[in-house]
Chains A and B, each alone.
Chain A
Amino acid sequence: MPADLTSGSALSEPNEAASPWSDAVLAAALYAINPIGLGGISLRAHAGPVRDQWLALLQSSLPPHAPFRKIPIQVSDGRLLGGLDLAATLQAGRPIAERGLLAVCDGGTAVLPSAERRDAFVVARLGAVMDRGAVAVERDGFTSVTPSRFGVIALDEATNDDERPPASLLDRLAFHITLDGIGYRDAPDLPSLVEDVARARGQHADVTVPDRLIEAICVTSLALGVASLRAPLLAVKVAQAHAALIGNSEAGDEDAAVAARFVLAPRATRFPAGETDPAEPQEAEPLPPETPPEPSNDDSEHQPTDQELQDLILAAAIASIPPGLLAQLKLAQAVRTKARPSGRAGALQKSQRRGRPAGVVRGDLRDGARLNVIETLRAAAPWQGVRRREAAARGSVPAKPNRVEVRRDDFRIARFKNRTETATVFIVDASGSAALNRLAEAKGAVELLLADCYVRRDSVALISFRGKSAEVLLPPTRSLVRAKRSLAGLPGGGGTPLAAAIDETVALADGVRRKGLTMSAVFLTDGRANVARDGSGGRARAEEDAIASARSLRALGLKALVIDTSQSPGPQAEKIAREMGAIYVALPRADAQMLANTVRVATQPNGRDG
């Protein structure tokens, strides 16, 4: 009877015919069969009745008493991982550990609202626990490893395609589904799968997946350009769960097709190369070019793979790739690689945070200070015996003998290191050509930007170049006054030693990075280099040197902006910008205010939003 129910429902109809809603329902059912093994579901949907209905349906399919807990967006490490339970500790007079949310989720589901806005830190902790199947805690005087295994429902509430949950999270979740575009009317009540799911939950682990299916899944994932190895692993498990759902003890072609549709299609980064002989996709589509396909005897083992099966699975996956997805992906990738040449996502995301703990100091509870309770207690702890005896000697009887006596001396204040700290370096061309044109405007713009930096508590640095060399006028500082003074005294005239200026920037960047700051560089120049690195003249040599220097700047992967200040922008500045991986803006007639606005726009969005 259970098998009848599914085969009669919309759920096991051929893949192409499945509606988005029935797909979402099927994903929920498959997840509920094996939440831990499948990792979870990334659900793109706005809060609303359709999502509520789906969540209710999901919950009804899960075992009745399994935990289903939300991880709030502001969660602290203490709540997430566990630590000292202060109330209980004070009550008992001895340290009592508190279980963190991730340990509480054991055997159930962790729900992650606003998944697209989670930073790398929370996701890394989540990922570590999912991989290990245990929460490792080294906090607040406790050391523990608590087994905990759970699935994750990532609620992706993004409004546009640029926002996505962190890649390291998506990689671990089998299903990436969307409810966008499904109206309440499009979400009918489908026949309940609860009983089938419950039965399948007991059986999925025994479902065997034949080698030819595993191979077909691997072939398909390569053909679609899915690099991660977690994808085929998860697909195998989805096939297993699907076979269990329809009551089979061995996964078949259809199960693999469903798996490819759910797991591989949303991860596709390319269409398979036309209809060109998918018999040897490993030759047509090797991912990193340097890995040659294994020759001879291995291939002969793979020969008997079922050609039709591979075609079927690939077709199922391709049918599920939403139109336009690949174009979007490409675009997004291009933007991403341009904006962050060497993967600075982490560093940038850090800047969103109010601050990470950076140790504690003894201090008073003034306004805004955050008491570090653990350290305070720890400071108070050794004196308890003494203080009690003192109190007894004074004759005052403690109300509760177990109460911890905390004195003002014990207060420990948490210090946060503000990760929003960035250093903006302005490199101002004060050569003759620039000075004639635009030096005054450039100075004005820098002054305006300095004020911004000051408000944001960013550091600024100033490099100027003219004549034969470049000079750091101002090392990274927060002093607005100093910056203004050094800027005002900046003379103009002479050659354009652009290479020297870039080299100076690279040297400065090294120091800045060692302090753990994020740096962006803003060049205000016409890019017409005419002094080589060694101070000699000659345009050709000078340009060559400047390009070489620009490349070394790009190697640092920091955010750079070149503002072409010349009155008739030529190709030189643009070329330099390209070589240093910088954003190029030509502003031939901008005044100081407009220059400043441009820099704001160009340096902020990424840095602020990650």
Chain B
Amino acid sequence: MAVLFPFSAIVAQDEMKLALLIAAVDQSVGGVLVFGDRGTGKSTAVRGLAALLPPMQIVKGSRYNSDPSLSAEDLAALEPELGAGKPKSVWVPVPVVDLPLGATEDRVVGALDLERALTRGEKAFEPGLLARAHRGFLYIDEVNLLDDHLVDVLLDVAASGENVVEREGLSIRHPAKFVLVGSGNPEEGELRPQLLDRFGLSVEVKTPGDLATRVEVVKRRDAFERNPAGFMTEWQIHDASVQDQIAAGRKRLASVTTPQDMLEKAAKLCMALGTDGLRGELTLIRAARSLAALEGASSISDAHLKRVAPLALRHRLRRNPLDEAGSTVRVERALQEMFGGGAALGPTLVAAVAERRVV
């Protein structure tokens, strides 16, 4: 609890790390779904990422992580208790909020502040997890076991970017835009299709099968548990370089150009795969742009598109009765057809900088 396993020390699982970094650089990519085998470091990676996000600015005292660039009227409407006058802003860590299993709806959407109501007879709103996650990440481990009524709430908020509370005589609305990160094991239950749609990127994680990787996982975990602080110090430098990479990627993001032919290729790819709606295309381009920014490129190239296509599209395919292949294989195949031979390269490691020095 006290010390988290460093992100850069996670062995292999390159695709998962790549997806998280892409979402960290451009939050508009949408959420990340990590589905797969047990004990593959899914939640370790998400929690580890939290430590690497560059801080953000909020209005001092804001309970909704309000952006200081918000207009004075909007801010006053949302949080009158902050008072008039020019708001001060403070730097805070980007929130990575856990939605634990067994959470009740009142804590998720926010509710009447029971303490104040009971002791002082005041009617006050106590913001919930959705408010805390605004402009940050909302993480749900075992997302496939989430109670249905909470799924409904999340779907609504994730679609509108706004949380509307009408309960106990309260009538509150506040912005709630966050990157939804979910993880789970498909053996324990499926995800409702609507929720699947809400995730921009999806990753399938597998337990590594080769000996060298497995030995390295066990050794690092053993070293970490033996001496967490020492392990952290050892990996600090690698974590720092990933952090720099994210920060640099964010700065560069706006200037990354998207050539017309890339847009066309993305559209063609989606058409070939028969993905529903525009969201696939949009996510594909955004993810490719984010990856380009992450790698210091000035515009999107074929290589970027190829690397992010499985992430952005594999959960959007309609099931094809004539094709029994898994969705990942189908995306790879479509890529092969479009870009020709050698397309089926797995995502290479972005966080490799840190990795390679050690292994």
Contacts and interface: CB of A to CB of B under 8 A. Distances in A.
B297 interface: no
Contact of B102 (A81, A133, A209, A404): A81
B214 A291 contact: no
A357 B147 CA distance: 8
Interface in B224-268: 225-226
B173 interface: no
Interface stretch (A60-68, A433-441, A548-556, A599-607): A548-556
Given A81-B102, A138-B129, A292-B210, A343 B186 contact: yes
Given A139-B102, A140-B104, A555-B319, A382 B168 contact: yes
B92 interface: no
Nearest to A379: B168
Contact of A287 (B111, B114, B186, B207): B207
A168 interface: yes
B69 interface: no
Contacts of A359: 105, 149
Interface string A355-367: 0111100000000
Contacts of B147: 356-358
Given A236-B218, A378-B117, A294 B213 contact: yes
A294 B212 contact: yes
Contacts of B208: 229, 291
A343 B278 CA distance: 30
Nearest to B207: A227
Contacts of B322: 548, 551
Contacts of B112: 378, 381-382
Contact of B39 (A94, A209, A229, A513): A229
B320 A552 contact: yes
Contacts of A282: 210-212
Contact of A344 (B168, B189, B213, B219): B189
Contacts of A228: 37-39, 207
A358 B148 contact: yes
Identify whether the interface residues of A are mostly helix, strand, loop, or mixed: helix
A171 B187 CA distance: 13
B93 interface: no
Contacts of A342: 186, 190
Contacts of B144: 346
B188 A343 contact: yes
A95 interface: yes
B314 to A, nearest CB: 14
A510 to B, nearest CB: 8
Q: How large is the interface on A (under 10, 10 to 19, 20 to 34, 35 or more residues)?
A: 35 or more
Interface in A265-298: 281-282, 286-288, 291-294, 298
A136 B100 contact: yes
B340 interface: no
A217 B218 contact: yes
> Most B CB atoms within 10 A — which of A134, A205, A382, A555?
A382
Given A37-B225, A124-B145, A209-B222, A132 B1 contact: yes
B76 to A, nearest CB: 24
Interface string A536-555: 00000000000011011001
B115 interface: yes
A547 to B, nearest CB: 9
A149 to B, nearest CB: 8
Contacts of B43: 131-132
Nearest to A281: B211
Contact of A549 (B122, B148, B217, B321): B321
Interface in A171-230: 171, 205, 209, 211, 214-215, 217-219, 221-222, 227-230
Contacts of A227: 37, 207, 209
Contacts of A308: none
Nearest to A100: B102
B190 A343 contact: yes
Contact of A95 (B98, B114, B190): B114
B321 A548 contact: yes
Contacts of A214: 215, 218-219, 222
A291 B210 contact: yes
A372 to B, nearest CB: 10
A346 B104 contact: no
A171 B219 CA distance: 19
B171 interface: no
B121 A384 contact: yes
B114 A302 contact: no
A282 B112 CA distance: 58
Nearest to B359: A298
Nearest to A419: B148
Nearest to A139: B104
B212 A125 contact: no
Contacts of A552: 319-321
B210 A286 contact: yes
B194 interface: yes
Nearest to A125: B101
B40 interface: yes
B321 A77 contact: no
Contacts of B348: none
B221 interface: yes
Interface in A48-73: none
A346 B189 contact: yes
A120 interface: yes
B126 interface: yes
Interface in B49-106: 98-106
A139 B107 contact: yes
B169 interface: yes
> Most A CB atoms within 10 A — which of B100, B145, B324?
B100
Contact of A128 (B40, B101, B120): B101
B118 interface: yes
B108 interface: yes
A408 to B, nearest CB: 16
B103 to A, nearest CB: 4
Contacts of B207: 227-229, 287-288
B129 to A, nearest CB: 6
B283 interface: no
B99 A138 contact: yes
> Most B CB atoms within 10 A — which of A120, A342, A346, A516?
A346
28 contacts: A37-B225, A81-B100, A89-B118, A134-B1, A138-B104, A138-B108, A138-B129, A140-B107, A168-B38, A168-B188, A218-B218, A219-B211, A229-B208, A229-B217, A229-B218, A286-B210, A288-B209, A291-B209, A291-B210, A302-B215, A342-B186, A378-B112, A378-B114, A382-B123, A404-B118, A513-B193, A516-B148, A548-B322
Interface of B: 1, 37-40, 43, 98-108, 111-115, 117-123, 126, 128-129, 141-142, 144-145, 147-149, 168-169, 185-190, 192-194, 206-215, 217-219, 221-222, 225-226, 319-322, 324, 359
Given A236-B218, A286-B209, 8 more contacts: A94-B115, A125-B102, A132-B43, A141-B115, A301-B212, A342-B186, A548-B321, A551-B321
Closest 8 CB pairs of A and B: A346-B189, A385-B121, A552-B321, A287-B209, A381-B117, A282-B211, A138-B103, A136-B100
